[in-house]
Amino acid sequence: MVSLLTYILIGLVIATVVYLARIYDLSRDLKGEREEVVTPAENKQSALFFVLFLVALFASYAWLVIEYSPMLLPKSASVHGESIDSLMNLNLWVVNIVFVVINAILFLFAFRYESSKVEKAEFYPHNNKLELLWTVIPSIFLAVIIIYGLSVWSNYNKIEVNASLWIAGLVLIGTGVAIFTLFRTLIKEIKLIVGGSLMLFGAFFISYYFIAKASTSAEELAVEPLKIELYARQFDWTARYAGADKQLGAAHVRYIEGANTLGINAEDKAGMDDKIVRNEFHIPKGVPVEFSIRSQDVIHSAYMPHFRAQVNAVPGMPTKISFTPTITTSEMRNEEHVKNKYANINSIREKRGEEPVEFDYVLLCNKICGATHYNMRMTIVVDEPADYQKWISEQKSFAELTAGESTETTAEL
């Protein structure tokens, strides 16, 4: 009822504004005034409206930030997620500062330099110093963000690099320099574009080599992670754990049949002890987890927001992602931010006559993959290592699942 009254009120306000504008036009016509002629009073009025709009814009933006901040994600529950949050916060600070400064200048200039017969605009088409200034300053900010982002990305993906990367960079830089110095008859613009581009890419390769080296240590690469496969299909997820051999068995869609919904190759012994779970899967706190992602049908996206992790699930092309969880499900439920957020959620649900809910980590599909895409989710439970070992020991292996199917088939015959 309240929503209906709100919509009616908004409609009445719009209608009122439309009719007031129409009355204003009619009164101007009766006075014989021309629409295209703008009076000094109207100029001052428009300039004042620019300032009022600026205040309203900043006030509404501040209100949105304050109002919806409690609904944001809680702190990261993975090791690398903290650096991703820092990178995101840096970007937000830069964007917000630019947003405030540019809009303040834009609207205040409109107020200060309203149309006047006294002041005339000066034709000022070009200034090399100004163009250099507004090119160099953004470039510096972009360079910092890109280098920081590459460092986070390298650490996140545990990327290994070798000397061929910086050797290729030196070759590109040398080629670019040669184009500048040796091809004297070449058109200046072509030399600038081609030579400059080659040197830029060379510098990028060399920079990325040292960034990746600094971000990923040999100790991190030496740690053997827990291996889990996430299998996507319209419209659900299935998790498969490597068994005692710590290797996932080979799989392909052509092997899908009956209980073998993941298409595991029954002739591959490495897959017989793999454990398959649905609805929810568990991971241990403090243990690196490496996810292999497959899709049966269309492009999906494995999105685990609380761990700041996401990667596409592409048919015919397995992808990977890894992270180390740092906060168990029960610990996150006791976080103040989470408790306040879910208290608010459950108060709304109570008014609707719905059952209360509690916090859970989730795996979502972040691609619109079909009609019931919104149902494609799976609960993630982060346990203490001992609790995880107890849970995984209770799960059935692929051999046990298919043995049960074989028994049923024999009984039917």
3-state DSSP assignment of residue 328: coil
What whole-number percentage of the chain has pLDDT above 70? Answer: 87
Residue 153: pLDDT above 50?
yes
3-state DSSP assignment of residue 170: helix
pLDDT at 410: 34
Residue 388: pLDDT above 90?
yes
Categorize the per-residue pLDDT at 408 as very low, low, confident or very high, splitting at 50, 70 and 90.
very low
When pLDDT is averaged across residues 258-271 and rounded to a whole number, the result is: 83
pLDDT at 325: 94
**Which pLDDT tens digit goes with each residue over 158-176?**
666 677 777 888 888 888 8
Residues belonging to the chain: 413
When pLDDT is averaged across residues 72-87 and rounded to a whole number, the result is: 90
Categorize the per-residue pLDDT at 253 as very low, low, confident or very high, splitting at 50, 70 and 90.
confident
The contacts of residue 261 (CB under 8 Å, 6+ apart) are: 238
The token duo for 122 is: 């000066």
Which residue in this structure is represented by tokens 């184009």?
Answer: 179
**Which pLDDT tens digit goes with each residue over 85-143?**
998 999 999 999 999 999 999 998 888 887 766 667 778 888 888 888 888 888 888 88
When pLDDT is averaged across residues 380-399 and rounded to a whole number, the result is: 92
Instruction: Tell me the C-alpha to C-alpha distance, in Å, between residue 86 and each of 76, 288, 407.
Output: 11, 21, 55
**Which position has the higher pLDDT, 149 or 232?**
232
Tell which residue, 268, 258, 271, has the closest CA to residue 229. 271
When pLDDT is averaged across residues 222-227 and rounded to a whole number, the result is: 79
When pLDDT is averaged across residues 60-88 and rounded to a whole number, the result is: 90
Q: Note whether 199 and 176 are within 8 A (CB).
A: yes
What whole-number percentage of the chain has pLDDT above 90? Answer: 33
Mean pLDDT rounded to a whole number for the chain:
83
Categorize the per-residue pLDDT at 240 as very low, low, confident or very high, splitting at 50, 70 and 90.
very high
Categorize the per-residue pLDDT at 300 as very low, low, confident or very high, splitting at 50, 70 and 90.
very high
Residue 409: pLDDT above 50?
no
When pLDDT is averaged across residues 280-285 and rounded to a whole number, the result is: 94
pLDDT at 222: 61
The token duo for 284 is: 């241990």
| Rounded Cα distance, 146 and 207, in Å | 11
pLDDT at 131: 83
| Rounded Cα distance, 72 and 79, in Å | 19
Least confident of 16-30, 124-138, 304-318, 391-405: 16-30
Residue 411: pLDDT above 80?
no
Domain ranges of the chain: 128-220, 224-412
Residue 293: pLDDT above 90?
yes
Strands 226-233 and 236-241, sheet pairing: antiparallel
When pLDDT is averaged across residues 338-363 and rounded to a whole number, the result is: 92
| Rounded Cα distance, 310 and 288, in Å | 16
When pLDDT is averaged across residues 212-230 and rounded to a whole number, the result is: 71
The contacts of residue 137 (CB under 8 Å, 6+ apart) are: none
When pLDDT is averaged across residues 132-157 and rounded to a whole number, the result is: 81
The pTM for the full model equals 0.74
CATH class of 224-412: mainly beta
Residue 378: pLDDT above 90?
yes
| Segment holding 25, helix H or strand E | helix 2-31
